[in-house]
Structure 1
């Protein structure tokens, strides 16, 4: 399934999400710009951001991409995005079933959005959604948790705004048989403790390659970031191939 807003404090409060995940000077969309330049020789003409959250990354990318759209499963995130970034086309949608009936030159999926889909069949449906919005040559950038670098996931979090000061410590537990990573976080504030919880699906490289290849994406490479909230991330870059061409004989 996707993120469950009842289990994570920051997903219920988008204004706090943007404080805790401050964007590290737009590190993720800046990386995307670099990838687009390397692979396309320019910024794409159109971009779909699936799992867009509050739309902050998309707002940054929209400075140089004329046609952008963002989708998130959570109504509260999209409401906040529309309020703050009304010039962008935002939709509420499930990445397993989303169909906008058009294609884009680039698709992004940041913030471990795909990791909130746990079952194999649902991951396959999500990748099918990427393919449904792709044309030959479309670039896909996926931010996933590197299963070999889970020790780099952030352990401490801070909210420091005029009306609220809170610190949190996160504990992680891996469920190896299910390839799930559970995060339990305790927020300490003057009014008392607040607990939240989220579970991520871990995808290993060859496994992700299988899902992508099954839906006509070729992996081109992977990138890393050292910023605190993305140090465990692998940014996998893939290109959608022409699936109408006849296969070459073996």
Structure 2
């Protein structure tokens, strides 16, 4: 595993994407619906094309694809992408790293949800992600980034439940701050009839002016930030930015 990223290899839900969609039920496509609102507010219409970086199982993109004719989803986790392709075969999913991806085209909108950016730990790699966003942007492209609000980490979910015919599991999550590295350590213990399963992840925290600095360096102007009250996004900030066309 790349020490500058956290690929989720030790995460039960990433290894079993069908469980991910049970644990995170999507709350009626709340995140995708918020993106719909943001894009309409900032563009005055729904975009004709959208790139979703870190698309996971593709559930958010599936909703957005009902509004946007040209969508592409990219993820670096093969298990998640294989599940997305099987479950949502009409969507164009690509295997790729958001630090190095180059599709040789631009989009009217770009999104990255589900703390995909938090898996990028090193400053130089965050810079590379922003370069990827700029490389796929044209003047006026709207970018939406979901990040963890460092001031609201206490609102992150502490419990998760999976309840399907073949599996019943409850998880308790504990968090620990590593302030010097701006990392939030997430330790989750799943209790199942078959025994305990332990997950470990590290999430990069970005403060608002810090994120603005990375965006500005690659030609993006921050427009606004939105929040959702749903429990799984309670600590999220959805930051919207527009590309100037110069970065």
TM-score bracket for the superposition, by shorter chain length = over 0.9
Say which of 123, 131, 135 aligns to 2:134: 131
Q: Deviations over 1:22-49 (max 9, x none)?
A: 1011000000000111111111000000
Is the 1:221–1:238 contact (alpha carbons within 8 Å) kept by the matching residues of 2?
yes
Query: Does 2:204 align with 1:201?
Result: yes
Aligned to 2:202, the other structure's residue is in SS state strand
- CA-based RMSD of the aligned residues comes to 0.9
Q: CA deviation at 1:3?
A: 3.9
Extract unaligned runs of 5+ from structure 1: 245-250
- Checking the alignment, whether the CA contact within 8 Å between 2:5 and 2:122 is kept in structure 1 is no
Question: Is residue 174 of structure 1 aligned with residue 177 of structure 2?
Answer: yes
Alignment of 1:81-160 (within 5 A): 81-160=84-163
CA contact (8 A) 1:174 1:182 kept: yes
The residue number in structure 2 matching 1:248 is none
Q: CA deviation at 1:55?
A: 0.3
CA distance in 1, matches of 2:10, 2:127: 25
Among 19, 42, 45, the residue aligned to 2:45: 42
Distance in 2 (CA, whole Å) between partners of 1:20 and 1:163 is: 14
Deviation at 1:2?
4.0
Q: What is aligned with 2:16?
A: 13
Match of 1:29 in 2: 32
Partners of 2:205 and 2:85 in 1: CA distance: 31
* TM-score of the superposed pair, with normalisation by structure 2: 0.97
Query: How many residue pairs align between the two structures?
Result: 244
What CA distance in whole angstroms lies between the structure 2 residues aligned with 1:116 and 1:23?
Answer: 20
TM-score (normalizing by structure 1): 0.96
Q: Hey, what's the Cα distance between the residues in 1 that align with 2:8 and 2:168?
A: 21
Name the structure 2 match of 1:52: 55
Segments of 5+ residues of structure 2 without an aligned counterpart are: none
Q: Determine helix, strand or coil for the equivalent of 1:95.
A: coil
